[in-house]
Amino acid sequence: MTRSNKWSVALAGECMVTRPFAMHDEPQFLAVVEKLRSSDVTYAHVETNFGHFSEVDAPSRGDQVGSYFLTDPQVAHDLRWAGVDIASLANNHSFDFGAKGLLSTIGHCEAAGIAHAGTGRDLEEAREPGYLETRNGRVALVSTSSGNKSHEWASLPKAGIPGRPGVNSLRPITRFIVDKDAAGKLRDIGGKLGILREAGMNVEGSSGLLMKAGEGEFSLAMPSDQSTTGSNLFTVSDHFGVVTSGDKRDVAGNIRVIEEARVMADLVLVAHHCSISEGGRGDKPPAFMRDFAHASVDAGADIFIGHGWHKTLGIEIYRGKPIFYGVGNFFAQSEFVRRVPFDAYESWNHDTERLPTLTPAAHPLHPGLTAGNETWWSSAVINLVMEDGEVREIELHPVELGREVSKQAPLRRPVGGSERSLTDGRPLPATGADAEQILQRYQRLSADFGTTVVIDNGVGRIKL
């Protein structure tokens, strides 16, 4: 197959989109839409489920403080109207409404004409590339997610047992590096509490995580982890730190399908939704994400697209290919979820004995929406040109989602008539100080990867 020589590509960020929007015709909004429509191929990350409440399962989780996303299927058609051609579906909300919700999302994307990848009826389907046919050639997308609960992982069928519907997971292993003194204290505390676990211990409740432990590593079997593979592995060294690495089987499986995509398509996109961090969610991607990005390019990816922290992160050019570690939010409308499950009210400490009197207008119900989060309400439409297998141009067109880009994040486009107004959450072009804030952040964080972002009349341009 002959590869196309030149591609124009548009990338949109995380679409927590819950309201139809194709009726809006402000020149500013249509200018953003045109940035998507004008490219040979436009990608977006869909961080919601499409479906009617009558066609999905009950909420599948109850132990996480977070939003539950189910959106009117019309919104899938609105995304297509806006120019979205292909979308990643693997994320920590893919299984919010069980297998039926996951499959309804796939069905409504297909009905809207949006190619997709990252979820499926079993692991093979969830992991396989999604393909898009264009006049310019064939596009492939591989989509994976880190940070999902074990019941959300897609699995393979075996001996007549069906595979589990779910997401294409890239499961990390987290190691906590501690010095000798701290390790001794942890071992002592773990022993006294009866939760110390080491390789070779024949103790009920031992963590399966120890199957991946190296010499001298140990774990503390927290009660909530004793029926799972566990979540902590301690390594003794001369310093402190947190280090992540990808599960070898997951990495190998995803690299295999990227290599397939390289053979079967002219342009290969890889998307990674990462909800894992090495400590707090700072401004640098975790080690396992960067390792996977490099391995993806080595295997044939043309563009690597990271998201999951709801913030923009740095841009790296690796072997002539762009790696976007965090594309940020493109729609932020979790406040407008029409129905909120019991578990969300419980998680946010509402009086669930009064459940019939509680409504989706209750506050709080959603994370990340308060003042002090200057990255939640902004991102950029990324327009780039690939030619002869390498990136030639990258432009960052900043957008704001209805609040000022600052720690105080005062409202620009309020919705509702109460004292606690909600935020429109649609992308409009950022200008003035807002645009400067967005682009300077890209400039600062990309410099860590040796990438120069030049700010030119409200647009970021990467010097190649």
Residue pLDDT, tens place only, 194-213 = 888 887 776 665 566 677 78
Q: Quote the domain boundaries for residue 448.
A: 6-156+267-463
Which of these, 141, 147, 164, 165, lies nearest to 46 by C-alpha position?
Answer: 141
83-101 pLDDT tens trace: 999 999 999 999 999 999 9
What is the overall mean pLDDT for the chain?
93
CB atoms within 10 A of CB 117: 29
Cα distance between residue 101 and residue 242, in whole Å: 35
CA distances from 174 to 171, 213, 243, 246, 253 (A): 10, 11, 6, 9, 20
Domain co-membership, 293 together with 355: yes
CATH of the domain at 452: 3.60.21.10
Domain co-membership, 150 together with 177: no
Higher pLDDT, 34 or 61: 34
Domain co-membership, 105 together with 213: no
> What is residue 210's predicted lDDT score, i.e. its pLDDT?
74
Q: What is the DSSP letter of 299?
A: H
Unique residue bearing structure tokens 């920590």: 92
Domain co-membership, 21 together with 80: yes
Question: Does the structure show a pLDDT above 90 at 440?
Answer: yes
Judge whether 259 lies within some domain: no
Q: Which residues contact 353 (CB under 8 A, 6 or more apart)?
A: none
Compute the average pLDDT of residues 285-291: 97
Cα distance between residue 319 and residue 234, in whole Å: 34
Question: Does the structure show a pLDDT above 60 at 3?
Answer: no
> What is residue 19's predicted lDDT score, i.e. its pLDDT?
97
CB contact at 8 A, 325 and 317 = no
Domain co-membership, 39 together with 122: yes
> What is residue 226's predicted lDDT score, i.e. its pLDDT?
64
Q: What share of the chain is helix, strand, coil (3-state, %, to 5)?
A: 30, 30, 40
353-363 pLDDT tens trace: 999 999 999 98
Domain co-membership, 315 together with 237: no
Judge whether 138 lies within some domain: yes
Domain co-membership, 374 together with 290: yes
- In the chain, the amino acid numbered 61 is R
Which of these, 164, 171, 286, 175, lies nearest to 241 by C-alpha position?
Answer: 175
Domain co-membership, 14 together with 116: yes
Compute the average pLDDT of residues 74-82: 98
What percent of the chain is modeled with pLDDT above 70? 95
In which band, very low, low, confident or very high, does the pLDDT at 1 lie, cut at 50, 70 and 90? very low
Judge whether 345 lies within some domain: yes
Judge whether 162 lies within some domain: no
Question: Does the structure show a pLDDT above 60 at 186?
Answer: yes
97-114 pLDDT tens trace: 999 999 999 999 999 999
Judge whether 161 lies within some domain: no
Which of these, 274, 327, 354, lies nearest to 13 by C-alpha position?
Answer: 327
Cα distance between residue 327 and residue 307, in whole Å: 6
Of the ranges 58-67, 214-223, 236-245, 264-273, which one carries the lowest mean pLDDT score? 58-67
Q: Which residues contact 1 (CB under 8 A, 6 or more apart)?
A: 138, 263, 264, 266
CB contact at 8 A, 260 and 139 = no
> Considering its fold, how many domains does the chain have in total?
2
Judge whether 258 lies within some domain: no
> What is residue 222's predicted lDDT score, i.e. its pLDDT?
80
Domain end residue (candidates: 198, 215, 245):
245
Domain co-membership, 196 together with 294: no
Judge whether 261 lies within some domain: no
Domain end residue (candidates: 245, 280, 305):
245
